[in-house]
A and B are shown apart, each in its own frame.
Chain A
Amino acid sequence: MSRIITIARRTIVQNLRDTGNALGQMLIFPILLIFILGNALAPMYDVGNVDPTVVGYLNEDSGPMGRLADEFMNMPEVKDLLDVRPVDSVTQGNNLLQDMDITALIHIPGDYSTKVIAGQEAEIAITVLPGRTFRGALVETVMESFICGSNATQAMLAMGNPQPEYRPAHGTIEDQPFSVSGLMPDAMDYYAVTMLVMIVMYGTMYGAYGMAANNLYPVGRRVKASPVRPGEQYIGTTIGNVATIFVSSLVIIAFSHFAYGVNWGDNLFLILLITFLHVILAVGLGSMAIAVMRDEKRASVLINLLVIAWTFLAGGYFKITLPSAFSWIQYFSPSFLVQTALFNTIYGGPFSQTLLMLAAMIGIILLSGIIGIAAERRSGQ
C-alpha cells in the first residue's frame, strides 16, 4: 500500500510541476471557454417568455384516464405552456401538422385507460414537426408530468376510489427544464457542463502518459525492477492522475458557480460522483489506448481525435439533434453518457436514465482497467 501511495504522490507532484503546463491549460481553457461560449451563444439558449405551443389534441379514451387527461389539459399551468386545439381524427391532426397550423399532435388512444388499469404498457403518441426540437421537448415534458400525476391517480383507482381527483405531482412541471419557472439551462449553464465534460475527457492524455511512462519509458521499467507488485504501479499512477483531474474539476465547478452563477443543481453529491467516475473513465481510456497501441504519439493523436468526435456527438460544442434513426450513435460517445447523467441530475431528468448512464460508465472503467493491468503484465513477457 505504501508503494501505491508513493507512486500516486509522485504522479501528483509531477502533474503539478508539468513543464508543458497542461494542468494550467486544463483549468484556464474551460473557464475561458465557458465565459466566451456562454456569452456569445446566450441568445440561442434564451427562450425568454415562450408563447404557448400550439398542439392538436385527440383524446379517444372515454375511460378514467381519458377524463383525467381532459382535466389536465385545462389546468392553468398547462394552458400557460400549451395552446390546445382539439381535433377529431389522426388524419385531421396530421393535416394540421402538414400545414404547420400546429407544432405537435397529442393522441391518446381509445384503449389507454384499459391498458393502464390492466397494468399493461400504454402509450400516448406525440408527433412533432421536424426541426421543432425545443417545443417538441416542451410538449413531451408536459405529457410526462401528466403521466407522473396519472400514476398516482391510477394507484387510487386500483385501491377502489372510482372517481379520484387528478392532482399533478407537486412541482412536476416546475421542476422540468423546459418550464415557465426558468429552470432550464442558459448558455452559461450548458457550456459549464459540456466544457467540464470535454476537459475531463482530455484527462485521457494523463492516463496515456502515465501508462506510457510505466511501460515504455526507462524510468517506468526501473520502477518495475523495484519490489513493486504487479498492478501497484498502474494503480498508483491512476490514483495520482485521477486525483489531479478530479481536483481540477472541482475548481472548474466551484469557479463557474461562484463567478458565473452556473446552476449545478441541488444534488451536488451526485454531480461529484458522476464527475469522479468520469475522471476514472477518462484516465482508464487513455491507459487502454497505450496498452493497445504501445505507441505514445499514435495514441495521443487518436485520443485527440476521439475527444473531439465524442464532444461533438454529445453536443459539447453546440447542441445537435440527430434524426431518431441515428440517435443511438450518441451512446458511443462517453461524453454523451456523462453529459446526460449530469443534465438529468441538475434539471431533474429521469433518475433511471442517470443510473443507466452510470452503469455504462462503470462498465467502460472496468473494461479499461482489466485491459490496462493485463497490458502491464504482458509487458514483462
Chain B
Amino acid sequence: MLVEMKNLVKRYGNNLAVDNVNLEIAEGEVFGLLGPNGAGKTTIINMLLGLTKVDGGEIIIFGKRVNGNREDVSKHIGIVPQELAIYEDLTAAENVAFFGRLYGLKGKLLQQRVAEALAFTGLSDKRKEFPKKFSGGMKRRLNIACALMHRPRLIIMDEPTVGIDPQSRNHILSSVEDLHQQGSTIIYTSHYMEEVEELCTRIAIMDQGRVIALGSKEELKELVSSEERIVVELAGVNYTVVDEVRKISGVKDCILTDSTLTVLASKRPSLISSIVDAITSAGAEVISLSAEKPTLESVFLTLTGKTLRD
C-alpha cells in the first residue's frame, strides 16, 4: 500500500475532528474523500502532510511513518491546496520554479520541469505573466502546476475545482485523468459528486470525523439500491406539500427547491401514486415526474441524513 492510516485520531479540545479512521490507498489509485465541511477531510490531509500533529494512530506513506520522516516523505508528495496557494507577485514560471527549488530541483532540470508543468496545465503562453492578471480558472491551474513539477508519487488535491469556469474545470479534470493514466496515485477531495464519480476508483464517505462508507462507486450505490430518488416538477407550490409527502410510509427525506420536489424513499409498489396523491391533496399540481437511479448524492443522503452542502 502506498498510504496507510491506522486508527487515526485528531482532537481539537473536546471536538473529535478525526475519529479512529482506517484507510489504505494502493499505488495508482484515484481515491476520493467525500464529505461535507467539517467532516475531517482537510484535517486528514494536513496529517498526511505532517502539518497537523496526530493525536492517535499512525500514518505510513511509501512504507515510512510520517511522524519522524516528514521531510523525507513530503519530497514525494504534491499538494494542491483548497485555497489558492501561489504568489501574486511572482510570474507563473517563477511560482512553479520556487516550489521546484523547495523540492530540490535546480539548473536545467528545474527549467525543463517548469516548462513541462506549465504545458501540462495549459499555461505555457502565460509563463511570464503575473497571476493577478489571471482568471480564477488559470490561477487554479497554476495552483496545480506548482504541485506537479517535482513529479510526486502521491498527489493530494483538496477541492481543486472550487469556483472556476467550466472550461478550466474540464481542463483540470482531464489533467487528473492524464495523471492517473501516467500511474500517479491521487487523493481527491471534492464537494462535487459528479467529479468524484467520474474520476475516482475508490471513495471514502466521511461525516463527523468518521469514515461511514468505503468502496468503489458501484459498491457504494449498492448500499442504497433499495431506495429510489423521485424528482417532481410542481405548479401551485405550497409548503404543505412537503409535510404531506413526508407522511407517506417509506419516505426518508423530501426537499423542495423552487418548484422542484426531491423525494428519497424506500422502493415499494404504488410509491409514485402515493406521492402524486399527496401533492394533489396539498393543492399543488404535478407537471412532470421522474425516478432516478441512485447517485453518490443519494448515498450520502441515505448514510448521513443530510446533503453534502449542509
Contact = CB atoms under 8 A, between A and B. Distances in A.
Contacts of B83: 218
Contact of B102 (A17, A19, A218, A227): A227
Given A14-B87, A218-B83, A219-B86, A225 B49 contact: yes
A277 to B, nearest CB: 29
B90 interface: yes
A18 interface: yes
B51 A219 contact: no
Interface stretch (B19-27, B56-64, B71-79, B116-124): B71-79
B247 interface: no
A19 B89 contact: yes
A227 B90 contact: no
Nearest to B156: A225
Q: Chain B interface mostly helix, strand, loop or mixed?
A: loop
B99 interface: yes
A225 B74 contact: yes
Interface residues of A, number: 24
A137 B79 CA distance: 64
Interface string A1-42: 011001100100110011100000000000000000000000
A219 B85 contact: yes
Contacts of A225: 49-51, 74, 77, 79, 81
B53 A18 contact: no
A221 B103 CA distance: 15
Q: Chain A interface mostly helix, strand, loop or mixed?
A: helix
Contacts of A221: 51, 81, 85
B238 interface: no
Contacts of A18: 89
Nearest to B52: A380
B87 A381 contact: no
A221 B146 CA distance: 14
B236 interface: no
A2 B101 contact: yes
Contact of B87 (A219, A229, A380): A219
Contacts of B51: 221, 224-225, 380
A356 interface: no
Given A14-B90, A225-B51, A227-B75, A218 B101 contact: no
Nearest to B48: A225
B69 to A, nearest CB: 11
Interface in B71-116: 71-72, 74-75, 77, 79, 81-90, 94, 98-99, 101-104, 106
A227 B89 contact: no
Contact of B81 (A6, A17, A222): A222
Interface residues of B, number: 32
A49 interface: no
A228 B102 CA distance: 7
Contacts of A6: 98, 101-102
B52 A223 contact: no
A10 B103 contact: no
B87 A10 contact: yes
Nearest to B132: A19
Given A6-B98, A227-B74, A381 B52 contact: yes
A226 interface: yes
A237 B101 CA distance: 15
A228 B79 CA distance: 14
B128 to A, nearest CB: 14
A134 to B, nearest CB: 49
Nearest to A227: B71
Contacts of A7: 102
A199 B85 CA distance: 31
A6 B101 CA distance: 7
B71 A222 contact: no
Interface string A106-127: 0000000000000000000000
Contacts of B104: 2, 227
Contact of B90 (A3, A10, A228): A10
A228 B72 CA distance: 10
Contacts of A222: 79, 81, 85, 99, 146
A226 B52 CA distance: 14
A217 B84 CA distance: 9
Contacts of B49: 225
Contacts of A228: 71, 102
Contact of B89 (A3, A14, A217): A14
Interface in A201-225: 217-219, 221-225
Nearest to B106: A2
B89 A226 contact: no
A17 B53 contact: no
A226 B86 CA distance: 14
Given A224-B51, A227-B75, A3 B87 contact: no
A218 B81 contact: yes
Contacts of B82: 218
15 contacts: A6-B102, A10-B87, A13-B89, A19-B88, A19-B89, A218-B82, A218-B84, A218-B85, A219-B87, A224-B51, A225-B50, A225-B77, A227-B72, A228-B71, A228-B102
